């Protein structure tokens, strides 16, 4: 079963990045965004993280939904970079 991942990134995800990551849905608010999608393996997660980075976004933390429970891999930062432009 594929796990649902939330990739929390600094900045607003614009149409160019959305087009580059069609398998992820994006929600942007207040200079931060959440990209949500599934991954079948750790290698698939690594690929998504590489592609997110290649798009110029900084992943701040990841949340995983395993069997209906959310698990946070890294605590979110206390502050977000308010000057990060949309990509």
Name the residue with higher pLDDT: 66 or 6: 6
> Each residue of 8-23: pLDDT tens digit?
999 999 999 999 999 9
> Each residue of 39-74: pLDDT tens digit?
888 899 999 999 999 999 999 999 888 766 655 555
Q: For residue 1, what pLDDT is reported?
A: 63
Q: For residue 67, what pLDDT is reported?
A: 63
CB distance 83 to 71 below 8 Å: no
Burial 54-83 (b: 16+ CB within 10 A, else e): ebebeebebbeeeeeeeeeeeeeeeebeee
For the chain, give every domain's residue range: 1-36+57-77
CB distance 7 to 49 below 8 Å: yes
Q: For residue 87, what pLDDT is reported?
A: 47
Q: Is 51 helix (H, G, I), strand (E, B) or coil?
A: helix
DSSP state at residue 78: S
């Amino acid at each position: 079963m594929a796990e649902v991942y939330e990739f929390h990134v600094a900045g607003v995800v614009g149409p160019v990045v959305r087009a580059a990551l069609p398998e992820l849905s994006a929600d942007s608010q207040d200079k931060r965004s959440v990209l949500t999608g599934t991954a079948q393996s750790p290698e698939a997660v690594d690929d998504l993280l590489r592609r997110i980075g290649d798009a110029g976004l900084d992943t701040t933390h990841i949340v995983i939904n395993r069997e209906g429970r959310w698990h946070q891999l890294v605590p979110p930062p206390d502050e977000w970079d308010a000057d990060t432009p949309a990509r």
